[in-house]
Amino acid sequence: MGRRRYELTDFEWWIIEPLLPNKPRGVPRVDDRKVLNGIYWRLRTGSPWAEIPERYGPATTCYNRFVRWRKLGVWDRIFDAITAAYDGDIQMIDSSSIRVHQHGANAKKGARTPPPETLLTPDAWGARGAG
């Protein structure tokens, strides 16, 4: 089967592959491209990590790489490289996948807004226990 609708294109993979950490020794790693597509699938759908389809490799592998690469700054390098490759003509937010938590949907009118330091940061992107 060919590339699925939202998976990395060959051009994007060509840009991203050299930016990924390399671990030449030990147990062979699950294919990075497959794992990246699994991570993107999870972030796009908002599903729990455990529901990542098997075609993307083990869910724990996807989660662990997401967290590890966040700590190493790999995601910042990937987004910067892809943005530069598309000459800034790329948007990375899809409002159809942004949801309000059930407790935040019924906020009282005129309620105070949270202080700026409590706003979401890239560290909070779907990783449990991030921080």
Q: Is residue 82 within 8 Å of 90, Cβ to Cβ?
A: yes
Closest C-alpha to 58, from 74, 42, 76, 35: 35
* Per-residue model confidence (pLDDT) at position 29: 82
At 113, which amino acid appears?
T
Average pLDDT over residues 24-36: 85
* Residue 28, both tokens: 């062979």
Which has more confidence, 24 or 16?
Answer: 16
* Per-residue model confidence (pLDDT) at position 131: 45
Question: Mind listing the pLDDT tens digit for each residue in 88-124?
Answer: 665 555 555 555 666 555 656 666 665 555 555 555 5
Q: Which residue has tokens 């599903």?
A: 47
Question: Mind listing the pLDDT tens digit for each residue in 37-80?
Answer: 999 999 888 899 999 999 999 999 999 999 999 999 999 998 88
pTM comes to 0.63
Decide if pLDDT at 9 tops 60. yes
d(CA 120, CA 127): 12
Which has more confidence, 4 or 84?
Answer: 84
Own/partner pairs, 17-20, CB within 8 angstroms, 24+ separation: 19/74, 19/77, 19/78, 19/81, 20/69, 20/74
